[in-house]
Chains A and B, each alone.
Chain A
Amino acid sequence: MPKRTDIKSILVIGSGPIVIGQACEFDYSGTQACKVLKEDGYRVILVNSNPATIMTDPQLADRTYVEPITAEFVERVIAKERPDALLPTLGGQTGLNTAVELAKNGALDKYGVEMIGCDLEAIERGEDRKLFNECMADLGIETARSGYAYSVDDALALVGKIGYPVVLRPSFTLGGAGGGIAHTEDELRLIVSQGLELSPAGEVLVEESIEGWKEYEMEVMRDKAGNGIIVCSIENFDAMGVHTGDSITVAPAQTLTDLEYQRMRVASLAILEKIGVETGGSNVQFAVNPRDGRLVVIEMNPRVSRSSALASKATGFPIAKAAAQLAVGYTLDEITNDITKATPACFEPSIDYCVVKVPRFAFEKFKGADDTLSTRMKAVGEVMAIGRTFEEALGKALRSMENKHEGLGADGQPFDEDRFDDLCSRPTAERVFYMGEALRRGRTPEEVSAQTGIDPFFVDRMADMVAVQEALRGHALADLDADAFWVAKRYGLSDPEIAYLTGSTELEVRARRKELGVVPVFKTVDTCAAEFPSGTAYHYKTYERGESEIARGSRPRIMILGAGPNRIGQGIEFDYCCVHASYALHDAGYETIMVNCNPETVSTDYDTSDKLYFEPLTFEDVMDIVDAEDPLGVVVTLGGQTPLKLARALQEAGVRIMGTQPDAIDLAEDRDEFAAVLDELGFTYPRAGMASTYEEACQVASDIGFPLLVRPSYVLGGRGMAIVYDRDQLETYMAEATRVSPDQPIYLDRFLESAVECDVDALCDGKEVYVGGVMEHIEMAGIHSGDSACCTPPFAFSDKIVAQLHDIISKLALRLGVVGLINLQAAIKDGAIYVIEANPRASRTVPFLSKATGVPLAKCAARIMAGEKIADLNLPSDTRRIEHFSVKEAVMPFGRFPGADTILGPEMKSTGEVMGVARTFPAAYAKTQMAISYNLPKPRNGYIFISVNDRDKRHIGSIAQDYLRLGFDLVATEGTARVLRALGIPVKTVRRVSQPSPNIGDMVANGEIALMINTPYGHDTRDDGYYLRLQAVRHGVTNITTLAPAQALASAMETARMGELPITALQDLPQVYL
């Protein structure tokens, strides 16, 4: 059946901001879908509030709405654009939930919009545990024994039948939020009561624990003719009990016999049929008892997912693209296999390599949070690696993590001896390394397997890797002959590991290895294990004394280094920049070569660049590709810290760095040299000093005065940054900092209290500078720029300040020798501009600014790096007036880290961002708040709670007045209440959390509080405010910790009250197409 011609326009809903459990894999799927639907001639309308996505590029859809993904806003888009159909399965849980709401509230019927790709009943059968379990019972397929609880008592009754431990899953929450395993009644009471609140349905599933069983995922596709295929099977390295998003996973399944695998296969297909997934991709999860093969289905997702993105990258089968085509009526046999271009997509990929995915965590960002992995996902990113063996792939994955590991532990990284046994068995981010170390120390594979529940197959492979490492330890590099190198490489050892084991350097190892002729070959991901020829250049590296499959093209080649795993501080924004560079350079006639190891991204889609190398971003792996491809140059300044760190070493190895040179990067990074540049140019900057001990720090403090911004000397995303107001806080900080990294000195900057910060991004070609825009932060100085909301154009800066900022960034860019992008962070206090830092590379704000101004900055930067001049790009004047305001707001992951403090500070904690566009700043700001929390607080939701520190007490009056005017009643703790009453503002006094009930904590728990304004003081993490903030997270109450956003939110509510916020498509705003 060919494509449908009765529908002409299709609405696609994205997944919104990057949050844990819903990350940039949905940009990858959405981008594929939009592309293929447009190619097929449909008019594509897109709603997605996330500006850092490729899918929201104005060329990708016909109409792009960067608006909140709420039923209200999407309905308004429907009313305006009148699409024929809605495709809801590509925007994760957010997109699906919104679609369900629109179907249920009648909006789809009202406007005659057909839901394609999935129907409402199927979604409900897939997502509602009760309906799902009934379907499984009909099929005769087992689910874990379970029941539903609507109260803690219900749960206790169920446990009476099932027995501890039990798994608890709140219904309809994202990525399993609020779930957990209870081994005792206390745990049960805690998790169930939390889960009941988190679940929109007030429902928690209580289920027999199958902890320790083997866990599998099947990625399934089905078309409307009823053809079904398995795209990929995935086996979890971590046994049941760890969320699959937090597990190391392996594709294909490794330890199932054909009989077991085929049983799982037919079950997967039957489940899709039973649930009623008419077309598209779904994911079905199973548990298998390793002792008797008993098979239990865990859940299914009737939509594309993180796992389907992984499966697509692992096999080369583009699930999201195919899902979009199936939704418009094609059948699988009508779609051509995108990789071979000759055979049909109606087949099951056969792969001839092993794929390992390892999740990336950020526990170091969330002090106080429990680092045990559980059924609630906590990973912020992941890496994937491809090898010809599990050993090779695991080694690659572990060195891709950007956490100092060079592989499976032969790198001298320290272990926590006090907690060694605990960390060998308890699932944490580091367990795989502790398992390796335990094997190294003589524990048997059987013991390690028994302690962890991890299948002996995997532990045995790790034991082999360790055995090879240990045999090498102590040998001199000169002892290694070619055979020894081949063995080491086949067991996944990296050059740095060989260097560590042989007491040499990585460069020496590389030289020796190449001299002996031990160089890798490159193989191809082709979906068919080489049975058919494939023209798609999707490659991976392996050590094989055989054939390499790459062919150099005739066009000049440029290599782009991607951003590696997502983590806080380095996210989708950098992938966006890399993808844009690839597009722009391809269009300019170059052959583009992408190198990256992050399976969630658009950059690792095989059709983004001319060639894709799915490889770690280490010196060794990048140089091996350079040796094979001999590119004209390498782009390192668009992928954030990961590629930037390699710049110097690559240059020293003779690789041409495109654009801004490593010298310029170092000049901007080196504080003393950079200060000298600022002095030379006559720019002011906060006074600063450096200290290695508390005593030295006190000396600096007495020179430049409190408060101080303190941080380790080499940081990403503000790790380890804090503001200290007195000696006590300084002492605590120094003690902690010197414990964590004894060798790193601490920087101490004068902190500009209540200054306004801004970001400026600009392009420079070495002669001319083009300012992309100025972004005014909403939060006052002291909040990391990645966590601060910002607005462009600035709403409160004078023309003079803006002109000065243009002048500063221009002079800096030229002085530093920037060729490409530069980002400036500055603070404005009392009319004076202080330069805080300059980064001669793509910044986090580039995608947002590009969307806000219509100028594709990353594309421009790539073209400049390849030699074009700004004058050639025909950009609009950078002093033009932009008639709309764009606001970016950060999204926090606190809900995932119970126990971690939610206070914002100089250390970045956000995972993603949303954008709001409107004619005024408050309207744009209001949209960002709705995009995050779906609704602005209303008086009927309860009181506004105010408790501010002494510094803020003078300024709280006018804000409180605003909320009063909006119809809210106020409550405050005693000190704040006294101030408000003195200003004539009516307020109810409430007891602090530490005081006896009823106190503010009870009010939050009872749902009496609509919004909290709670500004903390200093760095104390265990005060009253801390517990209150935790309570707020637990109950989903918005909590504002600085005054500026409290003010902005009040204005936003005021605007929202005056009527509907109009919606705007990006295509209606000025756009520059390169």
Chain B
Amino acid sequence: MSQLANEMLAHTSKPAPVPALLVLADGTVWPGASCGAEGEAFGEVCFNTSLVGYVEVITDPSYAGQIVTMTYPQIGNYGVCLEDAQRNRTAATGMVVHDMCYTPSNWRSGESLPAFLVRNNIVGIEGVDTRALVRHIREVGAQQGVISTLDLDPKSLVAKIEAAPSLSDVNYVERVSCEAPYEYDASTVPASHAFALAAPAPERYHVVAYDCGMKDGILENLARVGCRVTVVPWDTPAEKVLAAHPDGVFLSNGPGDPDRVEGTYTQVEKLLGKVPVFGICLGHQMISKACGAQIEKLKFGHRGGNQPVMNLRTHRVEITSQNHGFGLLFDSLGPLVPELSGGASAPHADLRYWVEKGIAPVVHNDRFGRIQLTHVNLNDGTAEGIALLDVPAFSVQYHPEAQAGPTDAHYLFTAFTRLMDGRSDYLDIDIAADRLAGWNFGAAKEAAHA
């Protein structure tokens, strides 16, 4: 920056610019200025298209080993409310934005986002043409990169990327999972959400949750539908879980390549059929792996708050929050059962075929029997949810707890309680009827319920 340019910025809300570089493994260079911790951060560069919710995104443990690019260009506008964070420890290594806000405005904000990044040692870069970056990733696919405020030599940075481990080399789950079990219940939900969310339902269930990098938002949702949750490390033996006689077992989201998480899915295999199981995101992949399915790596993943998903059982579309780079290959679960699949026996890689037919197809799995495809992504026809018909278990690839994102799929938490109640129609819930469940719209309603 020239002297005049620095003078021009001197009386703005921004600090004096510190140069930073984002470099991708393919050698492309994206210059900008530091807007977080100084240092050098390596990770797979991905992008999230949510317009709001950067706090929830950057604190989501599933981003471990990743550098997150926000596509909305001005980030940090409403600051940071710490109770919106999804974990008290951040896992993403870096953040890329077009323009960072240093003077946020919101009544719950405790600090600015750049201050938060510094405090949590997340390297940030602003001033990047994030749209061009997204278009680039869209074309060439996800790849490793580095943000550096220390080394501004692209060649040296590319060499460092090559030396750094790639996403699939590391078991990030092991790094982000809790070390010892802990309890979460109605008393633990964030106090500052009370203005918007109703008080938790009375406690009726005890759930053991495998923490593969669990978002606090999931725990909050489980607690709000009446669950007391015992959170256990990712590789807790099934026997130990079953010994606690929980009403249900929950499998959390988490980072990285699911093939690396053998420690969880081998236990899931032992749990299925013995206790009701619900999985979200990586948890969905864990159930799939336990069934012997294949998982594919998506070209650039689904990350954002606007992914349309069709529920094949109710034929309703849910707008969902998503964050995953790997996905289940539904057909690898087993051959179609024609009499339960509208007579079809030939698989279809693009699952939107079933959307058009209005059928929720069923395959026969050699380990757990009949498995139904319940949810399909309408943008690209990938699998978004399955239900095991002979065993009490279901899972979705997306995030019904939202945080950040739309809450259309909140009904799945209710569905889990119905599964634990032993209902066979547990999944058949009208999203409109569930729409306002758990929300608080102010004094009028509280008074009415008082």
Task: Give 11 CB contacts A-B under 8 Å.
Answer: A227-B316, A229-B319, A254-B77, A258-B55, A259-B84, A265-B407, A333-B310, A457-B105, A468-B12, A483-B1, A487-B5
| Stretch from B148-156, B343-351, B363-371, B431-439 contacting the other chain | B431-439
The contact of B105 among A260, A349, A455, by CB within 8 Å, is: A455
The number of chain B residues touching the other chain, given as a range, is 35 or more
Asked if A1053 is at the interface (CB within 8 A of a chain B CB), the reply is: no
Bound Cα distance A230, B50 (Å): 13
Please tell me if the beta carbons of B99 and A350 are within 8 angstroms of each other in the complex: no
Please tell me if the beta carbons of A225 and B129 are within 8 angstroms of each other in the complex: no
Interface of chain B residues 68 through 112 with chain A (CB within 8 A): 71-74, 77-78, 81, 84, 98-99, 101, 103-108
* Max count, chain B CB within 10 A of own CB: residue among A226, A262, A533, A547: A262
Please tell me if the beta carbons of A483 and B195 are within 8 angstroms of each other in the complex: no
Bound Cα distance A468, B317 (Å): 47
* Max count, chain B CB within 10 A of own CB: residue among A388, A456, A491: A388
Please tell me if the beta carbons of A262 and B78 are within 8 angstroms of each other in the complex: no
The 0/1 profile, CB within 8 Å of B marked 1, for residues 519-540 of chain A is: 0010100001111110000000
Please tell me if the beta carbons of A347 and B379 are within 8 angstroms of each other in the complex: yes
Please tell me if the beta carbons of B104 and A457 are within 8 angstroms of each other in the complex: yes
| Stretch from A189-197, A288-296, A642-650 contacting the other chain | A288-296
CB closest residue in chain A, given B404 = A258
Number of interface residues of A (CB under 8 A): 89
Please tell me if the beta carbons of A483 and B444 are within 8 angstroms of each other in the complex: no
The contact of B4 among A470, A483, A531, by CB within 8 Å, is: A483
The 0/1 profile, CB within 8 Å of B marked 1, for residues 528-564 of chain A is: 1111110000000000111101000000000000000
The contact of A253 among B4, B52, B135, B316, by CB within 8 Å, is: B52
Asked if A270 is at the interface (CB within 8 A of a chain B CB), the reply is: yes
Bound Cα distance A971, B11 (Å): 69
Looking at the assembled complex, report how far the CB atom of A961 sits from the nearest CB atom of chain B, in whole angstroms. 64
Asked if A1057 is at the interface (CB within 8 A of a chain B CB), the reply is: no
Asked if A346 is at the interface (CB within 8 A of a chain B CB), the reply is: yes
With contacts A455-B105, A471-B10, A487-B9 taken as known, whether A293 is within 8 angstroms of B77 at the C-beta atoms is no
CB closest residue in chain A, given B443 = A142
With contacts A352-B72, A531-B49, A546-B129 taken as known, whether A257 is within 8 angstroms of B108 at the C-beta atoms is yes
Bound Cα distance A481, B51 (Å): 34
On chain A, the residues within 8 Å of B77 by CB distance are 254-255, 457
Bound Cα distance A1036, B8 (Å): 56
CB closest residue in chain B, given A533 = B138
Please tell me if the beta carbons of A352 and B5 are within 8 angstroms of each other in the complex: no
| Stretch from A133-141, A406-414, A878-886 contacting the other chain | A133-141
Please tell me if the beta carbons of B435 and A546 are within 8 angstroms of each other in the complex: no
The 0/1 profile, CB within 8 Å of B marked 1, for residues 273-306 of chain A is: 1000000000000000011111110000000000
Please tell me if the beta carbons of A333 and B404 are within 8 angstroms of each other in the complex: no
Please tell me if the beta carbons of A293 and B195 are within 8 angstroms of each other in the complex: yes
Please tell me if the beta carbons of A226 and B316 are within 8 angstroms of each other in the complex: yes
The contact of A270 among B52, B72, B436, B444, by CB within 8 Å, is: B436
Asked if B140 is at the interface (CB within 8 A of a chain A CB), the reply is: no
With contacts A293-B195, A333-B310 taken as known, whether A471 is within 8 angstroms of B11 at the C-beta atoms is yes
Looking at the assembled complex, report how far the CB atom of B227 sits from the nearest CB atom of chain A, in whole angstroms. 21
Looking at the assembled complex, report how far the CB atom of B59 sits from the nearest CB atom of chain A, in whole angstroms. 12
Asked if A149 is at the interface (CB within 8 A of a chain B CB), the reply is: no
On chain A, the residues within 8 Å of B160 by CB distance are none
Bound Cα distance A254, B103 (Å): 13
Please tell me if the beta carbons of B107 and A293 are within 8 angstroms of each other in the complex: yes
Please tell me if the beta carbons of B195 and A347 are within 8 angstroms of each other in the complex: no
Asked if B355 is at the interface (CB within 8 A of a chain A CB), the reply is: yes
The 0/1 profile, CB within 8 Å of B marked 1, for residues 451-491 of chain A is: 00001110010011001101110010001111110111001
Asked if A26 is at the interface (CB within 8 A of a chain B CB), the reply is: no
The 0/1 profile, CB within 8 Å of A marked 1, for residues 291-312 of chain B is: 0000000000000111110100
Please tell me if the beta carbons of B51 and A266 are within 8 angstroms of each other in the complex: no
The contact of B2 among A141, A261, A481, by CB within 8 Å, is: A481
Asked if A256 is at the interface (CB within 8 A of a chain B CB), the reply is: yes
CB closest residue in chain B, given A265 = B406
Asked if A343 is at the interface (CB within 8 A of a chain B CB), the reply is: yes
The contact of A354 among B8, B50, B73, B445, by CB within 8 Å, is: B73
Looking at the assembled complex, report how far the CB atom of A460 sits from the nearest CB atom of chain B, in whole angstroms. 4
CB closest residue in chain A, given B105 = A457
On chain A, the residues within 8 Å of B129 by CB distance are 521, 544-547
Asked if A1069 is at the interface (CB within 8 A of a chain B CB), the reply is: no
Asked if B270 is at the interface (CB within 8 A of a chain A CB), the reply is: no
Please tell me if the beta carbons of B406 and A348 are within 8 angstroms of each other in the complex: yes
Please tell me if the beta carbons of A257 and B448 are within 8 angstroms of each other in the complex: no
Interface of chain B residues 1 through 49 with chain A (CB within 8 A): 1-2, 4-5, 7-14, 31, 47, 49
Please tell me if the beta carbons of A273 and B432 are within 8 angstroms of each other in the complex: yes
Looking at the assembled complex, report how far the CB atom of B9 sits from the nearest CB atom of chain A, in whole angstroms. 6
The contact of A343 among B8, B319, B379, by CB within 8 Å, is: B379
Please tell me if the beta carbons of A530 and B71 are within 8 angstroms of each other in the complex: yes
Bound Cα distance A487, B378 (Å): 41
On chain A, the residues within 8 Å of B14 by CB distance are 464
Q: With A263-B196, A457-B105 given, can you name 14 additional A-B contacts, CB distance below 8 Å?
A: A141-B445, A226-B431, A255-B78, A257-B108, A262-B402, A270-B435, A293-B108, A295-B196, A346-B308, A347-B308, A350-B306, A455-B105, A457-B104, A487-B9
Please tell me if the beta carbons of A530 and B134 are within 8 angstroms of each other in the complex: yes
Please tell me if the beta carbons of A460 and B84 are within 8 angstroms of each other in the complex: no
Please tell me if the beta carbons of B195 and A257 are within 8 angstroms of each other in the complex: no
Please tell me if the beta carbons of B105 and A460 are within 8 angstroms of each other in the complex: yes
The contact of B441 among A140, A390, A488, by CB within 8 Å, is: A140
Looking at the assembled complex, report how far the CB atom of A485 sits from the nearest CB atom of chain B, in whole angstroms. 9
Bound Cα distance A645, B49 (Å): 41
With contacts A293-B108, A354-B73, A547-B132 taken as known, whether A258 is within 8 angstroms of B4 at the C-beta atoms is no
On chain A, the residues within 8 Å of B78 by CB distance are 254-257, 457
CB closest residue in chain B, given A139 = B436
Asked if A332 is at the interface (CB within 8 A of a chain B CB), the reply is: yes
Bound Cα distance A468, B430 (Å): 53
Please tell me if the beta carbons of B11 and A470 are within 8 angstroms of each other in the complex: yes
The contact of B355 among A259, A292, A333, A343, by CB within 8 Å, is: A333
Please tell me if the beta carbons of B193 and A290 are within 8 angstroms of each other in the complex: no
The contact of B196 among A252, A293, A484, by CB within 8 Å, is: A293
Looking at the assembled complex, report how far the CB atom of B259 sits from the nearest CB atom of chain A, in whole angstroms. 26
Asked if A970 is at the interface (CB within 8 A of a chain B CB), the reply is: no
The contact of A467 among B11, B56, B378, by CB within 8 Å, is: B11
Asked if B442 is at the interface (CB within 8 A of a chain A CB), the reply is: yes
Please tell me if the beta carbons of B441 and A255 are within 8 angstroms of each other in the complex: no
With contacts A227-B316, A487-B9 taken as known, whether A390 is within 8 angstroms of B53 at the C-beta atoms is no
Asked if A389 is at the interface (CB within 8 A of a chain B CB), the reply is: yes
Bound Cα distance A141, B436 (Å): 10
Asked if A344 is at the interface (CB within 8 A of a chain B CB), the reply is: yes
CB closest residue in chain B, given A266 = B435
Bound Cα distance A572, B432 (Å): 41
CB closest residue in chain A, given B104 = A457
With contacts A354-B74, A470-B11, A481-B4 taken as known, whether A259 is within 8 angstroms of B306 at the C-beta atoms is no
Please tell me if the beta carbons of B441 and A350 are within 8 angstroms of each other in the complex: no
On chain A, the residues within 8 Å of B71 by CB distance are 350, 352, 529-531
The 0/1 profile, CB within 8 Å of A marked 1, for residues 230-262 of chain B is: 000000000000000000000000000000000
Looking at the assembled complex, report how far the CB atom of A487 sits from the nearest CB atom of chain B, in whole angstroms. 5
Asked if B274 is at the interface (CB within 8 A of a chain A CB), the reply is: no
On chain B, the residues within 8 Å of A354 by CB distance are 73-74
Asked if A267 is at the interface (CB within 8 A of a chain B CB), the reply is: yes
On chain A, the residues within 8 Å of B313 by CB distance are none
Asked if A613 is at the interface (CB within 8 A of a chain B CB), the reply is: no
Asked if B357 is at the interface (CB within 8 A of a chain A CB), the reply is: no
Please tell me if the beta carbons of A294 and B134 are within 8 angstroms of each other in the complex: no
Asked if B403 is at the interface (CB within 8 A of a chain A CB), the reply is: yes
Bound Cα distance A475, B138 (Å): 43
With contacts A484-B5, A487-B9, A547-B129 taken as known, whether A257 is within 8 angstroms of B52 at the C-beta atoms is yes
Looking at the assembled complex, report how far the CB atom of B410 sits from the nearest CB atom of chain A, in whole angstroms. 9
On chain A, the residues within 8 Å of B51 by CB distance are 233, 252-253, 350-351
Please tell me if the beta carbons of B379 and A532 are within 8 angstroms of each other in the complex: yes
